[in-house]
Structures are given as C-alpha cells and as structure tokens.
C-alpha cells in the first residue's frame, strides 16, 4: 500500500529525515512514535506530499507520488488525513464539511453525498450534530467530524498526525475508540501518536524515529517490552 524508499527531507540546512525506507501493507496499522523533533510529523506529511521530499521515492497504492508527472491533487483524494488541530471548515456545518469534497472533487450527487455523510456521522456517533457549526463542538467531537470528513472521500489509507494531542484528557478515548473501530474495519492506517496505549493495543507495528532516523521497528509487544536500541529504551523509560 505504501512504499517509502530512501526518503530524505531537509528544511534549509536542517536535515529532518534521513534515509527512511519502509513498506506498509494493505490493512496494516502502523504507529509512528518518537521524541518531539524526531521528524515523525514531517514523515507523515511527506506521504501525501504536504511536504515535498528532498530525495527518495514514495509510492502509495501503486501511484508514484514523487514522479513529476503524477497529479498529486488527484492522488491525495485517496489519502485521508487527520490533523492535530482538526482544521474543520468553520464556515460550513458539520454535514457540509463531510459532503464538500465528495461534491466538489468527486462530483457525486448531493443526495448520495448527504446519505453517505449521515452514515459516517452515525458511525462516529454524531448524528445529532449534522447542522451544527464546528465552533459549537468540543475538541473530541471536532476530531471525530474530521475523521468522518476524511472517510467521506473513501480513501485507501488514513494518516493521523497526533490526533489526540490537542484534546482534553477526557476526550481522548472517544477519538481513540473511533480509530480502533476503523482499524478493525481493515483500514490501512499510519498514526503519529503519543498514546502508547493505542500503539500497544491497536497497532500491528510500531516504528520509532529519532533525529530523523528510523531507529527501530517491530511488533508492539516486542518493541515495548524489549526494545533493542538504546535510544528507544531511553525514550520508553522517560514516558512509561
């Protein structure tokens, strides 16, 4: 599903990602963890080209995103993304947020878009909020709407960029529950997170980045109980 080969990314002289290679299979749930500044968000943002890689190749669903001939806008339709700060469209209602891209980008009919939108709202438990504006929602509700908005485009995979980091503690669970449900439905997911519980329980694989390098990857149980590298040990000691 995702194939990253020798990815490098620099901002000016600052090398943020150094030679990252990884393959992610269809239906796999991968957690990306690491200290702040390790490049994990940049890594995620490279996968839908919100950041342009300095070097390397990224292939998503057999489309080579780093090929200059690829229509990146088109390719992004198939890659859902959820942001730390939600970024819902504040001037649109919840339902309009969900139907906007399907209507304008996929050009499906309004009836179909609304039907799908309502089904997704039900799935994230917010059926009663369809006509509300984002400003009236709590953080957890906003993030669930944001997930539904991304799903409305029927993506092949979903990227999550620290989806619970901006939430009050009591709202973290409702968002994680939606993500867990999504993972169980077979969605391919790449999740940058500080929620070790989620990484441990839901992820099929954990990758650990530090200072732009992919230090370690492995099955969560092994990684958390028996990290191989000193840096991962050090990191886990600090947070667990």
Partner 1 sequence: MNLDWSQIVPYIPFMLEGIWVTLQFVIVSIVFGFIIGTVLALFKIGSLKPLRLFADVYTSMFRGTPLILQLMIIYLAVPQLTGYDISPFLSAVLAFGLNSSAYVSEIIRAGISAVDKGQTEAAMALGVPYRQMMIDIILPQALKNILPALMNEFITLTKESAIVSTIGYLDLMRRGQVVGANLYRNFEPLLFVGLIYWGLVMVLSLLGKWVERRLSKGD
Residue of the chain from 6, 25, 91, 233 that contacts partner 1 (CB under 8 A): 91
- Contact range with partner 1 by CB under 8 A, out of 18-26, 130-138, 191-199, 203-211: 130-138
Residue of the chain from 6, 25, 74, 221 that contacts partner 1 (CB under 8 A): 74
> CB of residue 88 vs partner 1: minimum separation in angstroms?
8
| DSSP 8-state assignment for residue 101 | H
Residue of the chain from 76, 129, 142, 231 that contacts partner 1 (CB under 8 A): 76
Distance of CA 33 to the CA centre of its chain: 13
Q: CB-wise, 89 or 170, nearer to partner 1?
A: 89
Is residue 85 a contact residue for partner 1 (CB under 8 A)? yes
Edge to edge, what strands does the sheet with 188-192 contain? 79-82, 157-161, 188-192, 29-33, 205-210, 213-218
Residue from 175, 152, 174, 146 nearest 86 by CA: 146
Q: 3-state DSSP: the chain helix, strand, coil percent, rounded to 5?
A: 40, 25, 35
The residue with tokens 């957890």 is 140
31 in Cβ contact with 204 (< 8 Å): no
Q: State the distance between the two ends of the chain, measured CA to CA, in whole angstroms.
A: 32
- Contact range with partner 1 by CB under 8 A, out of 3-11, 80-88, 164-172, 227-235: 80-88
Is residue 134 a contact residue for partner 1 (CB under 8 A)? yes
Beta pairing, strands 188-192 & 29-33 = parallel
Is residue 232 a contact residue for partner 1 (CB under 8 A)? no
Residue of the chain from 23, 26, 37, 90 that contacts partner 1 (CB under 8 A): 90
Interface map 190-209 toward partner 1 (x if CB under 8 A): --------------------
- Contact range with partner 1 by CB under 8 A, out of 25-33, 84-92, 189-197, 200-208: 84-92
Residue of the chain from 4, 17, 81, 147 that contacts partner 1 (CB under 8 A): 81
161 in Cβ contact with 83 (< 8 Å): yes
Q: CB-wise, 21 or 165, nearer to partner 1?
A: 165
């Amino acid at each position: 599903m995702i194939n990253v080969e020798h990815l490098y990314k620099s901002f000016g002289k600052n090398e943020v990602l150094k030679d990252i290679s990884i393959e992610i299979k269809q239906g796999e749930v991968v957690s990306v963890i690491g200290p702040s500044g390790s490049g994990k968000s940049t890594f995620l943002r490279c996968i839908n080209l919100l950041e342009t890689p300095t070097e390397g190749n990224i292939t998503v669903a057999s489309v080579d995103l780093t090929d200059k001939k690829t229509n990146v806008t088109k390719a992004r339709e198939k890659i859902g993304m959820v942001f730390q700060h939600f970024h819902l469209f504040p001037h649109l209602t919840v339902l309009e947020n969900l139907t906007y891209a399907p209507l304008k980008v996929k050009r499906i009919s309004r009836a179909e878009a609304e039907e799908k939108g309502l089904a997704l709202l039900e799935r994230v438990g917010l059926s009663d909020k369809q006509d509300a504006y984002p400003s009236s929602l709590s953080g957890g509700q906003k993030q669930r709407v944001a997930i539904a908005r991304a799903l409305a485009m029927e993506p092949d995979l979903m990227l999550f960029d620290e989806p619970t980091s901006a939430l009050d503690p009591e709202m973290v669970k409702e968002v994680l529950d939606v993500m867990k449900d999504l993972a169980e439905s077979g969605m391919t997911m790449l999740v940058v997170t500080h929620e070790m519980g989620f990484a441990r329980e839901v992820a099929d694989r954990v990758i650990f980045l530090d200072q732009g390098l992919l230090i370690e990857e492995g099955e969560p149980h092994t990684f958390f109980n028996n990290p191989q590298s000193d840096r991962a040990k050090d990191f886990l000691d600090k947070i667990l």
